[in-house]
Chains A and B, each alone.
Chain A
C-alpha cells in the first residue's frame, strides 16, 4: 500500500515533471498548474489504494493524463490519420537549426500536434520513459504508442522545419 508515502516529499519529487507534462499538453501555465495540483489532490484522496509504491510516478502521470482528457471531450472524435510512410515525409531538421529555437518555440510546435500525438511525444522527450511505460500511462497498446510516436515526431519535425524556415 502507498499509505506510507509522505505527501510533501512526493510533491517535491514529482511536481516538476508533472507540470512539464501538463504544460506540454495544455500550453497554458494556469491550466498546467491546475492539472498538476488536481493530480496531487486525487493522490491525497485515492493514493492509498495504490498497492505498488514503485508505480507512484506512473500513477501520477496516468492520473494527470486522465484529468487532461476529462477536460477535453473530443478525443473520441480525433481523426486517425494513417501515415504509412512517415519517414518519407520526414523533413530534414539539423541540430544546429533546432538549437536556434528556444523552449517556448518548441512547446508551441508541440502544442500544434494533434492531441493523440502530443501526449506520447511529450512523455518521449520529457522523461526517459520506456515505450511500455508510456503505454501504461496513456492506457493504450504498445504498438499504438510506437505508431503515434512515429507520426507525432514526423509531424513535429515538419512544424519545427517550418519554424526554422520562417
Chain B
C-alpha cells in the first residue's frame, strides 16, 4: 500500500467504527509509519467533523411540521368524505338496480293474457286435465242436475248438446278454470271400463267465446287429433265447445 492508496481509503473514514474494516485498518496501520499521511489524516478528520456540523446546521423552515400534519389531516378527511361518497354512490346504484329488477320482474305481465288465451291453449289445457286425471264434483247422469250445479258455480250452463251426445249417458261434471274464467266440464261414458281417476272417457268443455282470442268461427264441428285424443271444436250461442275422447280423429264424430 502506498500513500495515495491509503488516502483513498481513509478519505471515507468517519469514526472508530470504520476502523474495524480490514482495508481501513491496514490504511491506519500504514499511516502510523508515514508522518505526512498522519498529518493529512488528522486534518482530514477535523475537516470532516466541521463539514458534518455545518451541514447539519441546515434547519427546516418553521411550520413545516404543522404544514405536513395539517395537509395529512385534510387529505385524510378528504379521503374519508370520498370513501363515504363512494359508499353512498354504491348504495344508490344497488338500490337503483334492485328497483329496476323489481319493476321488471314484479310488474304484472299483461301480455301473457293476450298470448295464452288462444283456442289451442284452451284445448291443450283442458285435454291435459282430462288425461292426467280429475275428480268430478258432481256424479250424476241427470243433465238437469249437471246444468243446475254448473250454473250455481258460475260455469256456462246454457249449453246445447249435440243429438248423439245427448243420448250418451253422462257420469257427472266439474268446474275447471282457464285464465280466471270458469269452464264447464261434463263427463260421459262411452261404455268402456272407467277408473277412479277417469270417471268418464268422453268430455265436453264449454267456455264463453269472449275469453278466447281466436274462438271457433263455425257451428260445424272441426275434427282434430291431439296426442291420441280425438277432438271436435265448434261454436254455438256465443260459447266455444270442445268435445274429446281417446281415439283417432274419427272417434269423436259419432257423438256429434
Q: Which residues of A contact B (CB under 8 A)?
A: 7-8, 11-12, 15-16, 19-20, 23-24, 29, 33, 36-37, 40-41, 44, 85-88, 90, 92-95, 98-99, 101-103, 106-107, 110, 122, 124-126, 128, 131, 146, 149-150, 153-154
Contact A103-B54, Cβ < 8 Å, known A15-B64, A33-B61, A94-B47: yes
Tell me the minimal C-beta distance from A27 to chain B in angstroms: 11
Q: Which residues of B contact A (CB under 8 A)?
A: 4-5, 7-8, 11-12, 14-15, 40, 43, 46-47, 49-52, 54-61, 64-65, 67-69, 71-72, 75-76
Interface SS of chain B: helix
Q: How far is it, in angstroms, between the C-alpha of A87 and the C-alpha of B7 when the chains are bound?
A: 6
Contact A40-B7, Cβ < 8 Å, known A106-B51, A106-B54, A125-B55: no
Q: List 19 A-B contacts (CB under 8 A).
A: A7-B69, A7-B72, A8-B69, A11-B65, A19-B61, A36-B64, A40-B68, A41-B72, A44-B76, A85-B8, A92-B43, A95-B43, A98-B54, A101-B54, A106-B55, A107-B55, A122-B55, A128-B15, A154-B11
Tell me the minimal C-beta distance from B129 to chain A in angstroms: 70
Q: Is the CB of A33 within 8 A of B46?
A: no
Q: Is the CB of A98 within 8 A of B55?
A: no
Q: How far is it, in angstroms, between the C-alpha of A90 and the C-alpha of B55 when the chains are bound?
A: 20
Q: Which of B5, B52, B68, B72 contacts A125 (CB 8 A)?
A: B52
Contact A40-B72, Cβ < 8 Å, known A19-B64, A87-B8, A88-B4: yes
Interface SS of chain A: helix
Q: Is the CB of A12 within 8 A of B12?
A: no
Q: How far is it, in angstroms, between the C-alpha of A92 and the C-alpha of B57 when the chains are bound?
A: 24
Q: Is the CB of B65 within 8 A of A15?
A: yes
For A19, give the chain B residue with the smallest CB separation: B60
Q: How far is it, in angstroms, between the C-alpha of A40 and the C-alpha of B43 when the chains are bound?
A: 39
> Given the complex, which residues of A lie within 8 Å of B57, measured CB to CB?
103
For A30, give the chain B residue with the smallest CB separation: B61
Tell me the minimal C-beta distance from A101 to chain B in angstroms: 7
Q: How far is it, in angstroms, between the C-alpha of A131 and the C-alpha of B52 when the chains are bound?
A: 16
For A16, give the chain B residue with the smallest CB separation: B60
> Given the complex, which residues of B lie within 8 Å of A99, measured CB to CB?
50
Q: Which of B8, B47, B68, B72 contacts A98 (CB 8 A)?
A: B47
> Given the complex, which residues of B lie within 8 Å of A7, measured CB to CB?
69, 72
> Given the complex, which residues of A lie within 8 Å of B75, measured CB to CB?
41, 44
Contact A86-B8, Cβ < 8 Å, known A7-B72, A33-B64: yes
Q: Is the CB of A95 within 8 A of B50?
A: yes
Q: Is the CB of B4 within 8 A of A12?
A: no
Q: Is the CB of B58 within 8 A of A103?
A: yes
For B5, give the chain A residue with the smallest CB separation: A87
Q: Is the CB of B11 within 8 A of A12?
A: no
Q: How far is it, in angstroms, between the C-alpha of A37 and the C-alpha of B46 when the chains are bound?
A: 34
Tell me the minimal C-beta distance from A69 to chain B in angstroms: 21
Known contacts A11-B69, A40-B72, A103-B54; 7 further A-B pairs (Cβ under 8 A) = A7-B72, A20-B58, A90-B7, A99-B50, A122-B55, A128-B15, A153-B12
Most chain A C-beta atoms within 10 Å of own C-beta, residue among B5, B15, B49, B57? B57
For B21, give the chain A residue with the smallest CB separation: A131
For A154, give the chain B residue with the smallest CB separation: B11
